[in-house]
Structure 1
Amino acid sequence: MILVTGGTGLIGSHLLFHLISNGNRVRSNYRTLESIEKVRKVFGYYTDNPSALIEQIDWVKADITDIGELDSLFDGVEQVYHCAALISFDPKDFKTLERTNVEGTANVVNLSLKNGIKKLCYVSSIAAIGPSTQGKEVTEENEWNQAKASVYGITKYDAELEVWRGSQEGLPIVIVNPGVVIGPGFWKSGSGTFFTYASKEKKYYIPGGTGFVTIKDVILAMIALMESNIKTERFILVNQNMTYKKLFQKIAPKLNVSPPTKVVSKFMIDFFWRWDWVRSNVLGKRRKLSKAVAKGLYHQERYSSDKIKSELGFSFGDMDESIAFCCSKFIEEM
């Protein structure tokens, strides 16, 4: 039996589809029945009968922050893919992020140790990798710099520490640090917002750039690592380093719209995060752009995936193909 936490998210739902399609016995937690319907939608991108596969999953209602609810998830489990996480860049959400991402991961690690799990794969993020120095590509060895990290990045890094602690106590682990994951199904969050934004034929794009990876590559890399003898290692998963301008230039034509052509100036970014702070602290609105995130928009960070290529012989797929597929599904739904 394979356990997938966070199976109702972007990575988790695609992982579930791949595992079930290949004949594995799989269990996953969920919080609401509505979230399972999102998984059914994702499955529908790849099969004409998604319900048949959904029914093969052993669904258990459980929150990773509740150790009592989690305990039953581990009965008969041999492998764990820990994909569950909360994503937010609002500093006001730090305590909630800490509880879900750090304490929740500690719960998964502790129960994995208790139940003699053979191997755990933790899905972290490039947000938990230290920044580049002297313009060099970021690698797994970069020194962590909390002062330059978002609240999300801080909690993902602290969650990694819980996973490393588990490895020191005898739990075989691997960690993956994906870039921005390009995949269909969640158009109002994460990378899905790029497709939504582009579809509205907006005029402005943000400066800078980051590392991107397809959902297919993330899933294949995770499974290959779990089936290998590799353990106690972390791997950056980035297919292409791109500017946001370049990303929109790839997305827009496939949505039959024009890409944004005007860059948001540094002055406007500085003004907006300050105004956003005022809105949040005076009017009680949710933060849309924190100072840490704003500073990260000024330049393009570049990431190296040489480690997984050399140690696993992994080859990344076609980014343009994945973007085209996402665009086709977006058009069908919208």
Structure 2
Amino acid sequence: MIFVTGVSGLVGSFLLSALLERGLPVRALYRKQPPAFSGAERVEWVEGDIRDALGLRAALEGVTHVFHCAGLVSYAPQDEELLLHINVEGAANLVDACLERPGIRLGFVSSVAALGGGTTPGQPETSGPLVLDENSKWDLGAEHNAYATSKYLGELEVWRGISEGLRAVMVNPSVILGPADWDRTSTRLFRYAYNEHLFYTPGRINLVDVRDVVDALLRLTLDTDYSGERYVLNGGSLPLREFLTQAATCLGKRPPTVAVPKWAAETIWRLEHVRSLLTGARPLITKDTARAGRRATEYQTRKIEQALGMQFRPLPETIRWCCAGLKQSQGVAA
């Protein structure tokens, strides 16, 4: 029996379909309403919340494998406490529930944000790329955004479980691309391109296909005996302008042409912060999103390539696949 959290999210929804394609029995956690999709009737649905420790313990009755895909991705200051509740407390609850049932195997979805790479106060920015892999250490003296901190602390809960005998593997994907609700997380990048915004920030973005993430997570958790390991998943990086141009072209829209200088981005996020404080609305841009990608970061993927013989899909192929799926699911016209 397979137990899955976060099935309404991008990774969880694709993972659920992949498990059903394998013909495996699946039990899935939902909060308000189970997602509607082909094959949903074959899923054993459990209403609950990742923050409910007692509910999780009951949900793992008879379970052999757990996939933890639930998590909050947010850079809004209003969500800092919620990030800790969901990404850290939720992970701790699930690890504790797994430890109560010896023999369970856990596949945990983390993020490259948990690898570190924060900025150190007082040190000037460098022009060279930052290279990170599974062995990168979290710098406690650096400045990390609240999302990255929550993912790092969530990983620590899994390491705690491993030290107590839990068999677990973790994957650390970069920005995950897939044709999902474009009002949420990374898919909003496609909506930005579709709406023909003129502006872009001159940085780079690391991306990975959701199908590659699901494939690696499934194989590591179900088809290997690896434990106590984490694996970086990254299909490559693109300048943000190039990504938006490819997306806009696929969607039949005009790509952005005006670069936002650093000083302007710094001004905008400060104004947005004041507006959000006065109105209670979420800021359209935050300090973290304004500065994202300013320093090129290279994520090494040799470990997963060697472990599974894996090759990541080319990013242009992924972008075209996402655009085609969004045209169909969102009802947009090219």
1:68 aligns with 2:54: yes
Aligned residue among 229, 243, 253 for 1:257: 253
After superposition, residues 109-258 of structure 1 pair within 5 angstroms as 109-131=95-117, 135-145=129-139, 147-226=142-221, 227-258=223-254
- Rounded to whole Å, the distance in 1 between the matches of 2:265 and 2:130 is 25
Q: Could you list the runs of 4 or more consecutive aligned residues of structure 1 that deviate by over 4 angstroms after TM superposition?
A: none
CA contact (8 A) 1:77 1:117 kept: no
1:285 aligns with 2:260: no
Aligned to 1:36: 35
CA contact (8 A) 1:3 1:74 kept: yes
- What secondary structure is seen at the aligned counterpart in 2 of 1:195? helix
CA contact (8 A) 2:130 2:295 kept: no
CA contact (8 A) 2:129 2:295 kept: no
After superposition, residues 40-59 of structure 1 pair within 5 angstroms as 40=37, 50=38, 53-59=39-45
Q: Which amino acid is 1:137 matched to?
A: V
More displaced 10-residue stretch of structure 1: 303-312 or 178-187: 303-312
Aligned to 2:316: 320
- Rounded to whole Å, the distance in 1 between the matches of 2:291 and 2:77 is 15
Give the number of equivalent residue pairs.
320
Q: Per-residue CA shift, 1:70-116, capped at 9, x if unaligned?
A: 22210110011100111211223211110111011000000001012
- What secondary structure is seen at the aligned counterpart in 2 of 1:36? coil
- What secondary structure is seen at the aligned counterpart in 1 of 2:3? strand
**How has the CA–CA distance of structure 1 residues 156 and 223 changed in structure 2, closer, same or farther, with 3 Å as cutoff?**
same
1:117, CA displacement in angstroms?
4.0
CA contact (8 A) 1:176 1:237 kept: yes
- In structure 1, stretches of 5+ residues that fail to align are 41-49
- Rounded to whole Å, the distance in 1 between the matches of 2:110 and 2:94 is 14
- What secondary structure is seen at the aligned counterpart in 2 of 1:131? coil
CA contact (8 A) 2:5 2:28 kept: yes
Percent identity of paired positions between Structure 1 and Structure 2 = 37
- In structure 2, stretches of 5+ residues that fail to align are 119-125
- What secondary structure is seen at the aligned counterpart in 2 of 1:4? strand
1:310 aligns with 2:315: no
- What secondary structure is seen at the aligned counterpart in 2 of 1:103? helix
1:277, CA displacement in angstroms?
1.8
**How has the CA–CA distance of structure 1 residues 30 and 117 changed in structure 2, closer, same or farther, with 3 Å as cutoff?**
farther
1:210, CA displacement in angstroms?
2.4
Q: Per-residue CA shift, 1:153-192, capped at 9, x if unaligned?
A: 1101000000000000000111111011110122111121
- What secondary structure is seen at the aligned counterpart in 2 of 1:191? helix
CA contact (8 A) 1:243 1:300 kept: no
- What secondary structure is seen at the aligned counterpart in 2 of 1:27? strand
- CA RMSD between the two structures: 1.7
1:142, CA displacement in angstroms?
1.9
Aligned to 2:122: none
Aligned to 1:13: 13
CA contact (8 A) 1:241 1:303 kept: no
Question: TM-score when scaled to structure 2?
Answer: 0.91
Aligned residue among 45, 67, 78 for 2:64: 78
**How has the CA–CA distance of structure 1 residues 135 and 185 changed in structure 2, closer, same or farther, with 3 Å as cutoff?**
closer
Q: Which amino acid is 2:35 matched to?
A: I
Q: Which amino acid is 2:172 matched to?
A: N
1:4 aligns with 2:4: yes
CA contact (8 A) 1:122 1:174 kept: yes
